[in-house]
C-alpha cells in the first residue's frame, strides 16, 4: 500500500493537483527560474499534505523530464511520496524502463502510465498504456501504477478498460470534466458502481483562466472544452476561481469526490488553489 492509494481509497473528498514541468525550449535563466518556482509550489503543496501529478509533455508541448530536477534537487523540502510523475508511452522503451527504476529508487511510490496523444509526435513505443504498465509492473513491482479513463466516452467500455485483467492499474486519472459534463460523469459513476470496481478514479478539473477564443480552441484539440458555456460564465462576471470551484462542487454532489485540478501554474499554484477551495 502507498500513501496515494491510502488517500484515494479513504472515504470523503480529496483534492489533488496536476502541474506541468517547465518547457524544454526555455533558455537557461528562464528554465532555472521556472524550476525554482515549481519547487516552491511543490514544497507548499506537499507541506499542506496534497498530492501532485507531474505531466509528461502535456498537450503536445515538450517539457523537461519531471524526474530530472524533482527527484534529485528538492531535498527534504518535498515529500516525494506525494509526487506522482506521469509517464506516457511516447518515449523509447528503454527510457521508460529507466524512468520507472529511477522513480522507485529516488523515493516515489506511484507512477501514472498513459498511452499519450497519438495526434502529435513522437510515436508510442507500445500500442497502449496498459501494455507499458504490464512491462513496468514486472520490472518495478513496488511502484503503484495508475491508468486513464474518459467519462466523455461510453462508460461500459471505459470501466471495462479499468477492470480488465490486463489493465495493471490500481487507480486512474480521468479526462478533464466540469459542471458542464455532469451527466456524463454520472453515467460513468453508475457503471463503476454497477461493476463493483474498487479502483479509485481521480477526476480532472481544468482551471480556465479566461475565455480567450484562441486558447480554448487550442485546448479543444486535446480534450472537450465547453467553449460557449465557459464564455457565457466569464461574460456574466464569474471569476476563473469561481468557475473552477463550481465544477468541484457539482462533481462532488454526484459522487466524484476525488479531484485533480489542472493548469494552476508553477508559480503561485498553492495560493491559487486555496482561493478556489475557499469557494467550494
The pTM of the full predicted model, rounded to 2 decimals, is 0.94
User: How is residue 184 written as a grid cell?
Assistant: 456524463
pLDDT of 238 reads 98
pLDDT of 61 reads 58
pLDDT of 130 reads 97
Range of the domain at 169: 3-279
Domain count, the chain: 1
**What is the rounded CA–CA span in Å between residue 206 and residue 105?**
32
Q: Nearest Cα to 200, choosing from 112, 126, 139? A: 112
Mean pLDDT, the chain cut into blocks of 10 residues (280 residues total):
95 95 64 73 90 80 69 70 94 94 92 91 94 97 97 98 96 98 98 96 98 96 96 98 98 98 89 96
pLDDT of 31 reads 62
What is the secondary structure of 24-70 as a DSSP string? TTS-HHHHHHHHHHHHHHHHHHHHTT--EEE-SSGGG--B--HHHHH
pLDDT of 76 reads 67
User: Which CATH number covers residue 70?
Assistant: 3.20.20.220
Amino acid at each position: 500500500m502507498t500513501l496515494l492509494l491510502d488517500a484515494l481509497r479513504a472515504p470523503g473528498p480529496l483534492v489533488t493537483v496536476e502541474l506541468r514541468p517547465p518547457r524544454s525550449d526555455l533558455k537557461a535563466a528562464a528554465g532555472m527560474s521556472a524550476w525554482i518556482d515549481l519547487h516552491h509550489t511543490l514544497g507548499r503543496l506537499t507541506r499542506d499534505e496534497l498530492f501532485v501529478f507531474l505531466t509528461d509533455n502535456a498537450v503536445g508541448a515538450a517539457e523537461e523530464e519531471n524526474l530530472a530536477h524533482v527527484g534529485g534537487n528538492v531535498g527534504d523540502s518535498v515529500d516525494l511520496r506525494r509526487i506522482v510523475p506521469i509517464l506516457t508511452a511516447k518515449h523509447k522503451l528503454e527510457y521508460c524502463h529507466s524512468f520507472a527504476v529511477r522513480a522507485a529508487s529516488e523515493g516515489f511510490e506511484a507512477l501514472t502510465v498513459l498511452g499519450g496523444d497519438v495526434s502529435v509526435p513522437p510515436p508510442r513505443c507500445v500500442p497502449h498504456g496498459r501494455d507499458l504498465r504490464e512491462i513496468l509492473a514486472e520490472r518495478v513491482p513496488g511502484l503503484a501504477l495508475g491508468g486513464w479513463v474518459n467519462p466523455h466516452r461510453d462508460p461500459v467500455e471505459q470501466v471495462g478498460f479499468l477492470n480488465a485483467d490486463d489493465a495493471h492499474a490500481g487507480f486512474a486519472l480521468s479526462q478533464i470534466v466540469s459542471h458542464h459534463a455532469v451527466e456524463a460523469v454520472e453515467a460513468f459513476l453508475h457503471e463503476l458502481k454497477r461493476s463493483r470496481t474498487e479502483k479509485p478514479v481521480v477526476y480532472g478539473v481544468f482551471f480556465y483562466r479566461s475565455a480567450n477564443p484562441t486558447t480554448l480552441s487550442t485546448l479543444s484539440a486535446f480534450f472537450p472544452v465547453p467553449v460557449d458555456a465557459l464564455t457565457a460564465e466569464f461574460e456574466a462576471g464569474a471569476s476563473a476561481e469561481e468557475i473552477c470551484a463550481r465544477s468541484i462542487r457539482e462533481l462532488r454532489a454526484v459522487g466524484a469526490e476525488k479531484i485533480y485540478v489542472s493548469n494552476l501554474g508553477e508559480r503561485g499554484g498553492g495560493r491559487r488553489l486555496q482561493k478556489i477551495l475557499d469557494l467550494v
